[in-house]
Structure 1
């Protein structure tokens, strides 16, 4: 039997221990391009350790709620940012670290146009779009050495809306 997690709306305050909410919200920091562009400046705590920043495109298969999972992962050498190219909501699963292992997960539902940046070492679920196409721009570490740790919970978790 799966343990139940109630998905929460994604907010900067609730998500802060795990990373950054990426969105054009609030007042812009700067007006640029002859007044035709609002810049929401420096919105993510990017960290690539000894590597460099790389920009990739991911194409993930959409899922639906309720969503069952056992697998979470983390990247000890760098942060990882996900920006949906279609502007559609997606599911974000994170878990606090408890002595090198993930604790009880939390789930968030993004609003249209929101992305996330996971801090270095944050346990998180795999990319889970809720609508097609599942295209995302992903900014993460490119470099030598392993930057992936995976963990499987012994009992599935079920995320509900």
Structure 2
């Protein structure tokens, strides 16, 4: 088994851009003022959420696990999003969307979100489920309702459905990804 080691780096609007949109109060987007609240409310729309079906918000509480990636998945029908609760940092391993059946691991990055902002993925962005850097890290996940059902369509050590393509990169490519902080 071959191992690829990624050095984790702080998430910024620039290094998140190939994979999605940084979602937070400092996201680079024009400020929109409410005609009702004047300068008391600043609205920003850093990205456009896409979903073809009912959206659900799931609260996931994560415990630390080894900083190792075996699976990567992508979504075709919604721009899955992750929003931290409680200001705790989390790590995402991401690879850009592509036409191939597998992620291009040479383009993968490990990004640390400091707990002040979240991430809205582009359609098709390959990712591992968020990794906690401290125990009891909670995230709100915006996800298409049917995606949970897609996870039940397990074939071997993978899952596939209309929205989900979850691959065992260790088995398919003989590669695991480890992350150095």
Query: What band does the TM-score fall into relative to the shorter chain?
Result: 0.7 to 0.9
If asked which structure has higher relative contact order (CA below 8 Å, sep 6+), I would say: 1
Following superposition of structure 1 onto structure 2, how do residues 12-31 of structure 1 map, counting pairs within 5 Å?
Answer: 12-25=13-26, 29-31=31-33
Deviates more, 1:109-118 or 1:23-32: 23-32
Q: Are 2:166 and 1:150 aligned?
A: yes
Report matched runs for 1:81-120 at 5 Å: 81-96=81-96, 97=98, 99-104=100-105, 105-120=108-123
Stretches of structure 2 lacking an aligned partner (at least 5 in a row): 151-160
* Cα separation, partners in 2 of 1:143 and 1:150, compared to 1, 3 Å: closer
**1:27 to partner: Cα distance:** 7.9
Task: Give TM-score scaled by structure 2 length.
Answer: 0.76
Instruction: Flag the structure with larger Rg.
Output: 2
TM-score by length of 1: 0.84
- Deviation (angstroms), 1:43: 2.2
- Report if aligned partners of 1:2, 1:68 keep a CA contact under 8 Å in 2: no
Give 1:22-41 correspondences, 5 Å limit. Answer: 22-25=23-26, 29-32=31-34, 33=37, 35-39=39-43, 41=44
CA RMSD after TM alignment: 2.2
What secondary structure sits across from 1:62 in the alignment? Answer: coil
Deviating runs (4+, > 6 A) in structure 1? none
Q: Secondary structure of the residue that 1:14 maps to in structure 2?
A: helix
Aligned to 1:61: 63
Tell me how far 1:72 sits from its aligned partner. 0.8
Whole-Å separation in 1 of the counterparts to 2:82 and 2:59: 9
Structure 1: how far apart are the matches of 2:21 and 2:83? Answer: 12
Which residue number corresponds to residue 121 of structure 1?
A: 124
**Which structure carries more helix by proportion?**
2
Structure 1 contact 72–150 (Cα < 8 Å) conserved: yes
Structure 1 counterpart of 2:4: 3
Identify if the C-alpha distance between structure 1 residues 156 and 46 changes in structure 2 by more than 3 Å, giving closer, same or farther: same
Alignment pair present for 1:140 and 2:159? no
Equivalent residue pairs, number: 157
Task: For structure 1, list consecutive stretches of 5 or more residues without a partner in the other structure.
Answer: none
Q: 2:130 & 2:31 partners in 1: Cα distance?
A: 30
Cα distance in structure 1, aligned partners of 2:29 and 2:4: 40
Structure-2 separation of matches of 1:72 and 1:152: 7
